[in-house]
Chain A
Amino acid sequence: MQPTVNITVRLFGLRGGDSRLTRLPTCAPAGFTVSALLAQLRSQAAPTDRLASADPDALLVLVNGRPVQYLQGWETRLGEQDEITFLLKTAGG
């Protein structure tokens, strides 16, 4: 059996218009990339979820609170106990 890692996916503002935080403890194959994880989540998402329709460029993706831009981008590989957060990008302040 393929080795898996326990991860938690945190979604903010991407589930049916509800901006509460959704926490999904789950498993993923070891070495799964962020890109593959997103594809899997989208395939499981309801059509009304913004997760299904959001342009990937509009997503802010964090692994353990760090933007993936500071890691390996979409090819960042997930490890045990990682928390991956998806939010919609914001600007200004």
Chain B
Amino acid sequence: MIRPIAPQRILNVDLTRGETWAEVVPQEEIVKHLGGRGIAAKLLYQRVPGGIDPLGPENALIIGTGALTGTNAPSSGRTSMLCKSPATGLYLKVSVGGHLGAELRFAGWDHVVITGRSSEPAYLWIRDDQVEIRPAGPLWGQGTRAVDARLKEELGDRAVQTAIIGPAGENRVLFSAILCSRYNGASRGGIGAVMGSKNLKAIAVRGEGGLRVAQGEPFYRLADHMRHELAKDPGTESLYDWGTAGSIPGLNEMGMLAARNFSQVTLEGAELLSGQHLQEHEYLIGRESCFSCSTACHRFVRSLDHRWGKVLDSGPELETVLALGSECGIVDTESALVANRLCNELGMDTISAGHVISWAMETFERGLIDAVVTDGLELRFGSPQVVHEALERIAYRRGDFANLLAQGTRRAAAAVGQDSHRWAIEAKGLEQSAVDTRMAKAYALAFAVNPRGPDHLMTETFAEFGLSKEAREVIRKITGDEKYADPHLTDKRAEIVRWHEDVYGASEALGFCVFTSTAAFAVNPENMAQLMSYALGTPFDEEQLMLGGRRMVTVERCFNVREGARRTDDRLPWRMMNERVPAGPNQGMITDQPMLDGLLDQYYGMHGWDSATAIPRAETLESLGLLELCGDAAA
């Protein structure tokens, strides 16, 4: 079926009753909530009431493809997956690349809402408008790669796109992931466990249809122009050359490299974890793109001496080599490749897995737990074998200690006690990404207010570093003066975060990779809106686009309010708020409670949320046209 870009179509799946049915999202809703994360957030709000068990049948797993996914809009193949998080009990959106979203679009579906629980292990097979829930008994228990191969064989088509949980998701590890298009992780917040709790082992998609935009020629030309502009950005080039781990040498030189559970900010030998090292020493044998992307930041690598095991796989990304490398005190390339492969196979989030282990290492090194408590794991910094063993045990919940780690750092620290929460690098129950939020203040604010927990994957304010002309121009546009392009300042951080929230949201609603709009800037609100206008064939401007972003951020806040979240939950990990940067150019910096309070006051004020509780006011919801949807959460 060749269909127009609007209306959008929802595939509803009730796994309890074994039923599927279609629904339509009319154009007015698209103009208001855009698509992707925006529509999905609205659906989550409507379908998942407050207080339900995230691992119960009432939780919904919602896939939202971008409004422009499947077109030649550059790097527009990103897909959002939403649910209530079992790790935090709050709103969760994860973003994933690869080719799954595009395949869904060509199959004729823009969103998939999965509720209920299958009585037996099952997989969902979507072939254009034919949808089946099929038995997955023989697949249960297997690693993600084996399942991918078996599904493609069973379905007789190797071009099928898949989304698969591994043993970690089946065992409801609270940081288990869904592996899409083989090695793209929809990873954080325990989304894999939600899929596992529904007895859903996999989703397979094949789409032979197409998409028509209203004004084809101008759309194609503008998208092509944007693609070329993006290619000229040095940031884009560096991503092609070295991938995301290309930032490692710079981070280390700037004293911003998280090491040894964030107790250090530099690490000798960290360049062995870098993307440059992978390329020069021939670990790197290929570069991979997501659908429609001309950056190709993904790596394909092999191990060389295989000292920790054999690897021929995609990855590793920056946060992965930080979490499972430097944070564990390990600067061994082969170890990082194996750890990444294990997380891919077992289906686990590398950021959380790494930080749970690094927390356990610090706890062990401090003598609060010993090898008896850890079921024999000698959890010292710098031990690759222990990391690999721990990952396996966690995925299978082998032994009491691994079972505890599988619940995430917050619960593990609560169980061990003895102030071990002080080095749990988490907030809201989600482990923090390895960005030093003591020295980058817009990052600090963005992380604290992130509805899913403290990471960079809801709102990343990279421009505040002002390292390029384009970044400084963005800061000037937001704040009126380039001088605010300095991460150490607290002034204007709320303005910077709010702009990035809206742009991030709009990007994710349309399907754009946020590297194109917030790390490079060739994709911007103006040209995104213009593309939407050409696609829909009706006027659509920058203001509407940013409003769409603002709405989804507000809906997400309201979801959390309904779950009981308040201002006090908007915080950073204890270490970031209580221990100063120990060394390097940022030595002494900290984001303590008074500083965070100042930032939060500005931010809530600008949003029109009650300052004491962080609950949106009714008049704010009214002004965004959200009173009907979210009025039950209003102050």
Contacts and interface: CB of A to CB of B under 8 A. Distances in A.
Contact of B276 (A19, A66, A89): A19
Interface stretch (B175-183, B247-255, B404-412): B247-255
Given A19-B280, A65-B253, A87-B249, A92 B234 contact: no
B249 A12 contact: yes
B469 interface: yes
Interface in B234-253: 234-239, 242, 244, 246-247, 249-250, 253
A67 interface: yes
A21 B253 CA distance: 10
Given A57-B469, A92-B515, A67 B485 contact: no
A19 B271 CA distance: 9
Contact of B236 (A17, A21, A91): A91
B76 interface: no
Nearest to A89: B234
Contact of B234 (A21, A64, A88): A88
B520 interface: yes
A91 B280 contact: no
A10 B297 CA distance: 26
Contacts of B585: 64-66
A68 to B, nearest CB: 10
B503 to A, nearest CB: 15
Interface in B273-301: 274, 276-277, 279-280, 297
B254 A93 contact: no
Q: Which of A18, A57, A66, A89 has the most CB of B within 10 A?
A: A89
Interface in A41-93: 55, 57-58, 60, 62, 64-67, 69-70, 85, 87-93
B235 A89 contact: yes
Contacts of B244: 92-93
Given A60-B467, A64-B585, A92 B519 contact: yes
Interface in A1-46: 10, 12-13, 17-21
Nearest to A68: B467
B466 interface: yes
Contact of A69 (B235, B274, B297, B466): B466
A13 B466 contact: no
Contacts of B520: 91
B456 A89 contact: no
Contacts of B466: 69
Contacts of A60: 250, 467
A3 B456 CA distance: 47
Q: Which of A57, A65, A91 has the most CB of B within 10 A?
A: A91
A89 B465 CA distance: 12
Nearest to A83: B253
Given A21-B271, A57-B469, A62 B519 contact: no
Contact of A65 (B255, B276, B467, B469): B255
A69 B274 CA distance: 24
B391 interface: no
Nearest to B434: A93
Nearest to A61: B467
A91 B271 contact: no
B467 A67 contact: yes
A2 B488 CA distance: 36
Q: Which of B244, B253, B486, B519 has the most CB of A within 10 A?
A: B253
Nearest to A67: B467
B423 interface: no
A64 B586 CA distance: 11
A91 B235 contact: yes
Contacts of B515: 91-92
B26 interface: no
A50 to B, nearest CB: 11
A92 B280 contact: no
Nearest to A17: B280
A20 B467 contact: no
Q: Which of A55, A57, A66 has the most CB of B within 10 A?
A: A66
Nearest to A21: B271
A93 B467 contact: no
Given A17-B280, A19-B271, A67-B254, A58 B234 contact: yes
B255 A87 contact: no
Nearest to A10: B253
A58 B520 CA distance: 13
Contacts of A90: 235, 238-239, 242, 246-247, 250
Q: Which of A17, A21, A60, A90 has the most CB of B within 10 A?
A: A90
Interface of A: 10, 12-13, 17-21, 55, 57-58, 60, 62, 64-67, 69-70, 85, 87-93
30 contacts: A12-B271, A13-B276, A17-B280, A19-B271, A19-B277, A20-B271, A57-B234, A57-B468, A58-B237, A60-B250, A65-B585, A66-B254, A67-B465, A69-B485, A70-B488, A89-B235, A89-B250, A89-B467, A90-B235, A90-B246, A90-B247, A90-B250, A91-B515, A91-B519, A91-B520, A92-B235, A92-B519, A93-B317, A93-B318, A93-B319
Interface of B: 233-239, 242, 244, 246-247, 249-250, 253-255, 271, 274, 276-277, 279-280, 297, 317-319, 456, 462, 465-469, 472, 485-486, 488, 515, 519-520, 584-585
| 8 pairs of A and B residues whose beta carbons are closest in the complex | A91-B235, A19-B276, A65-B585, A58-B234, A91-B519, A93-B318, A90-B238, A90-B246
Given A66-B585, A70-B488, A91-B239, 20 more contacts: A17-B280, A18-B280, A21-B249, A55-B234, A57-B469, A66-B254, A69-B467, A69-B472, A69-B485, A85-B253, A89-B468, A90-B242, A90-B247, A91-B234, A91-B247, A92-B244, A92-B515, A93-B317, A93-B318, A93-B519
